């Protein structure tokens, strides 16, 4: 029953994006103050690439994908990516 409610499509299209930064902080006063694409692939690939990033830089990244119920929003924050990785490894 739990598995039925936690269906997550890790093969769904996703994009790993990074916010413009300087000194490990987001830059807000840049000509293009939006995140840019790093990897265009599946949710699984984006999560894997994210986990390879240094811990101190992860807050600059997010994953964009199609929403999947209440668990997966359109934009997945760094904190949620780590939780999804745990879920993925559990399933």
- CA torsion sign for 90, 15, 77, 4 is negative
**Lowest model confidence (mean pLDDT) among 15-19, 72-76, 77-81, 86-90:** 86-90
DSSP code at position 11: T
Count, in order, helices (H) and strands (E) of the chain.
Answer: 3, 6
**pLDDT (tens digit per residue) in 18-70:** 999 999 988 878 777 899 999 999 999 999 999 999 999 999 999 999 999 88
DSSP code at position 41: E
């Amino acid at each position: 029953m739990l598995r039925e409610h936690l269906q997550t499509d890790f093969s769904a299209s996703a994009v790993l994006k990074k916010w413009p930064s300087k000194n490990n902080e987001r830059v807000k006063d840049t000509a293009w103050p939006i995140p840019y694409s790093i990897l265009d692939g599946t949710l699984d690939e984006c999560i894997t690439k994210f986990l390879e990033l240094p811990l101190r830089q992860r807050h600059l990244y997010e994953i964009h994908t199609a929403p999947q119920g209440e668990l997966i929003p359109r934009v997945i924050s760094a904190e949620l990516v780590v939780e999804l990785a745990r879920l993925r490894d559990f399933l």
